[in-house]
Chains A and B, each alone.
Chain A
Amino acid sequence: MQIDWLAIAPEIVVAVTILGVLAADLVLPRPLKYWTATLAVVGLTLAVVPLILMAASSVETRSLFEGSYVVDDFALVLKGLFLIAGYLVVLMSVSYIESDRYYQGEYYLLLLSSVLGSLVIASARDLIVLFIGVELTTGPLFMLAGWRKGDIRSNEASLKFFILGVLSTAILLWGMAMLYGVSGEVRFDQIRSALADPSPAAQPLVGLAILFVLVGFAFKVSAVPFHFWAPDTYEGAPTPVTAYLSVSSKAAGFVALFVTVYVALRDRVDIWGPGLWALAALSMTIGNLAALRQSNIVRLLAYSSIAQAGFMLVPFAAASVAGEQLAEGLAATVVYLVIYALMNLGAFAVVIQGARRTGTGDIDGWAGLGRIDPRLGVLAAVFFFSLAGIPPLAGWFAKFVMFRAAIAAGSAAATSLAVIAAINAVIALYYYARVAKVVWFDEAPAGAEPATEPPAASLALTLGIAAVATVVVGVFPAVFAVFGEATRVLLASG
């Protein structure tokens, strides 16, 4: 059998790193356990090398295993996103996991397994491969969410996530089974040609199958009305895991959605287009309105991430419901996803350090943080204003491409979605700005002294990378637009 080893080299590197972390965890004495984190970081860095080689090579599309596994520019961009997000989350975790007596080796093992799953999703062009990828991404997260075994909130987080996660998997699998039943194929391109002309008797089943698959993925991206697990899970899980959930796990759900609806179900946009429209409108509105009333910073970010999922769906849904400019919509959603990943990881790194400085997760408890720790205060303002979409920070470009794609799609339904998004962007500014206001304008509690000890080096590195990326992308958005352009290849066939 002929295998293009370079195409699956990133997955192989991550898999070998997983084995290495497990072995290292076994042989290292407790004081040296931090080496497992180093191994994870080295592995994730090495996995980027084959991605760069493939991006530089002249081969456009590498198709493996009879077309079930495809590495094209779309896959490369998103694999890069998953690896970098995983890298930043590992850096964020180092000081957090080490400061309590958690099982370090197993933590990185599970995190890397989840990263491996999302790498598989980006290349999956087959129902079975996609399902394995989705499960490999979510499975380890059930355990990671409950990492603080002694903490009842962490247990609650894990249990709620598990029960709803399994329910969504069941619905997804049911939908996939019906898709297979209707088409008799598991590969996406073959499903597409089978669905192009189904028998009239199979027509209702096609509709049901597509909607079930849509609902399954809506759980994964925590879109309203399938978002109920998100706030409680985000609050109870360890903060680095929450960051991972709200960035990588959500992005993985989006990628799974892209490859399914754009490759396998593109001709049935009449069924899933309106569904996406409703998900986008509901997620933005309900996520933002609920975020207004949150007093805990992590819960605020949880609802913010639900609302952001709605914003990300906008170009995608607007193009679909209008039935044109699909590539435009996909490119805009991917650009939003990449920018959101960077600024949201930064925001969570701020939350970790801020909670350490103030000893609380209550937003009001952060009063005067800007005077206690000016650098952290500036970073908090940068990331939260970027999430709100204020220029010159990266968030504005994400919002800009979103509106541009939604308006370019042109139909009344697409334009009305853009209007809903515009109203929501204003609502969102209120609660993001409130964090900056508390940090800078409220009085610090009496007796608070300027912080002297610096943050842990790994956390500082995360903050630095995210902050630089957020500012650079905001000022030179063109460097990022190429990533969106590269994803058009997904729609190239047919």
Chain B
Amino acid sequence: MTLADYLPLALMGILAAGFVAVSLVASRLFSPNRPTPEKLAPYECGIIPETEATQRFPVKFYLVAMLFVIFDVEIVFLFAWATRWLELGWYGIAAAGLFTLFVLETLVYVWKRGALDWNVKTSGPLPA
């Protein structure tokens, strides 16, 4: 082996570090620095924030959103089969059916375990 084989890795490191350094220095050198109170606000969008963003909110939003993404992505796989279902014949139908079975069992599981119930009593106070 020669050390030259590892040269690309060193070059890559130098490039990565160089990009960060150049961007930081350039923005420091070339950008005008005129702070105003509005610009220094956490969200510079014209609306004055009234409360902190770090407050508690019901975890079920998160749960439902995550489940939606999972099932949405799983269903996407069926599109690939649906465009060619005639050519794939019974083999394709069996495969898609098996796949659907897996997804459906997961859905039933999630449902029966109560992950989709919206009106669950949560312990602790909720934000007003």
Interchain CA distance A25-B8 in the complex, whole Å: 52
Q: Which of A202-223 contact B (CB under 8 A)?
A: 204-205, 207-208, 211
Task: Check if A19 is an interface residue, CB within 8 A of chain B.
Answer: yes
Task: Check if B9 is an interface residue, CB within 8 A of chain A.
Answer: yes
Interchain CA distance A25-B113 in the complex, whole Å: 10
Task: Check if B112 is an interface residue, CB within 8 A of chain A.
Answer: yes
- Interchain CB contact under 8 A, B105 and A22: yes
CB distance from B99 to the nearest CB of A (A): 11
Q: Which of A1-59 contact B (CB under 8 A)?
A: 1, 19, 22-23, 25-26
Task: Check if B11 is an interface residue, CB within 8 A of chain A.
Answer: yes
CB distance from B105 to the nearest CB of A (A): 6
Q: Mark A269-290, 1 if CB is under 8 A from B, else 0.
A: 0110110000000000000000
Known: A26-B108, A26-B113. A207 touches B1 (CB 8 A): no
Q: Which of B67-124 contact A (CB under 8 A)?
A: 91, 101-102, 105-106, 108-109, 112-113
By a CB distance below 8 angstroms, the chain A residues around B105 are: 19, 22-23
Which residue of B1, B108, B113 contacts A273 across the interface (Cβ within 8 Å)? B1
- Interchain CB contact under 8 A, B11 and A204: yes
By a CB distance below 8 angstroms, the chain A residues around B30 are: none
Count of A-B residue pairs with CB < 8 Å: 35
CB distance from B112 to the nearest CB of A (A): 5
Chain B contact residues (Cβ within 8 angstroms of A): what range? 10 to 19
CB distance from A218 to the nearest CB of B (A): 14
Known: A26-B113, A270-B1, A271-B1. A204 touches B7 (CB 8 A): yes
Task: Check if B12 is an interface residue, CB within 8 A of chain A.
Answer: yes
Known: A19-B102, A273-B1. A208 touches B109 (CB 8 A): no
- Interchain CB contact under 8 A, B106 and A211: no
Closest B residue to A208 by CB, please name it: B8
CB distance from A457 to the nearest CB of B (A): 30
Task: Check if B43 is an interface residue, CB within 8 A of chain A.
Answer: no
Interchain CA distance A55-B8 in the complex, whole Å: 44
Task: Check if B6 is an interface residue, CB within 8 A of chain A.
Answer: yes
- Interchain CB contact under 8 A, A207 and B8: yes
- Interchain CB contact under 8 A, B106 and A270: no
Task: Check if B52 is an interface residue, CB within 8 A of chain A.
Answer: no
By a CB distance below 8 angstroms, the chain B residues around A19 are: 101-102, 105
By a CB distance below 8 angstroms, the chain B residues around A270 are: 1-2, 5
Which residue of B9, B101, B106, B108 contacts A208 across the interface (Cβ within 8 Å)? B9
By a CB distance below 8 angstroms, the chain A residues around B113 are: 26
By a CB distance below 8 angstroms, the chain B residues around A1 are: 91
CB distance from B67 to the nearest CB of A (A): 15
By a CB distance below 8 angstroms, the chain B residues around A26 are: 108-109, 112-113
Q: Mark A183-209, 1 if CB is under 8 A from B, else 0.
A: 000000000000000000000110110
By a CB distance below 8 angstroms, the chain B residues around A274 are: 1
Q: Which of B3-25 contact A (CB under 8 A)?
A: 5-9, 11-12
By a CB distance below 8 angstroms, the chain A residues around B8 are: 204-205, 207-208
Closest A residue to B9 by CB, please name it: A211
Interchain CA distance A356-B9 in the complex, whole Å: 49
Closest A residue to B112 by CB, please name it: A26
By a CB distance below 8 angstroms, the chain A residues around B101 are: 19
By a CB distance below 8 angstroms, the chain B residues around A271 are: 1, 5
By a CB distance below 8 angstroms, the chain B residues around A208 are: 8-9, 12
Interchain CA distance A19-B102 in the complex, whole Å: 7
Which residue of A23, A25, A207, A273 contacts B9 across the interface (Cβ within 8 Å)? A207
Interchain CA distance A23-B109 in the complex, whole Å: 7
By a CB distance below 8 angstroms, the chain B residues around A205 are: 8
Interchain CA distance A208-B12 in the complex, whole Å: 9
Q: Which of A151-206 contact B (CB under 8 A)?
A: 204-205
Interchain CA distance A25-B105 in the complex, whole Å: 12
By a CB distance below 8 angstroms, the chain A residues around B1 are: 270-271, 273-274
CB distance from B71 to the nearest CB of A (A): 15
Closest B residue to A277 by CB, please name it: B1
Max chain A Cβ within 10 angstroms of own Cβ: one of B2, B101, B105, B112:
B105
Known: A207-B5, A270-B1. A22 touches B106 (CB 8 A): yes
By a CB distance below 8 angstroms, the chain A residues around B106 are: 22
CB distance from B100 to the nearest CB of A (A): 13
Q: Which of A241-282 contact B (CB under 8 A)?
A: 270-271, 273-274
CB distance from B28 to the nearest CB of A (A): 29
Q: Could you tell me which A residues sit within 8 Å of B by CB distance?
A: 1, 19, 22-23, 25-26, 204-205, 207-208, 211, 270-271, 273-274
Q: Could you tell me which B residues sit within 8 Å of A by CB distance?
A: 1-2, 5-9, 11-12, 91, 101-102, 105-106, 108-109, 112-113
Pick 28 A–B contacts, CB within 8 A, sort by A. A19-B101, A19-B102, A19-B105, A22-B105, A22-B106, A22-B109, A23-B105, A23-B109, A25-B109, A26-B109, A26-B112, A204-B7, A204-B8, A207-B5, A207-B6, A207-B7, A207-B8, A207-B9, A208-B8, A208-B9, A208-B12, A211-B6, A211-B9, A270-B1, A270-B5, A271-B1, A271-B5, A273-B1
Given A22-B109, A211-B6, 17 extra CB contacts under 8 A: A19-B101, A22-B105, A22-B106, A23-B109, A25-B109, A26-B112, A204-B7, A204-B11, A205-B8, A207-B7, A207-B9, A208-B9, A211-B9, A270-B1, A270-B2, A270-B5, A274-B1
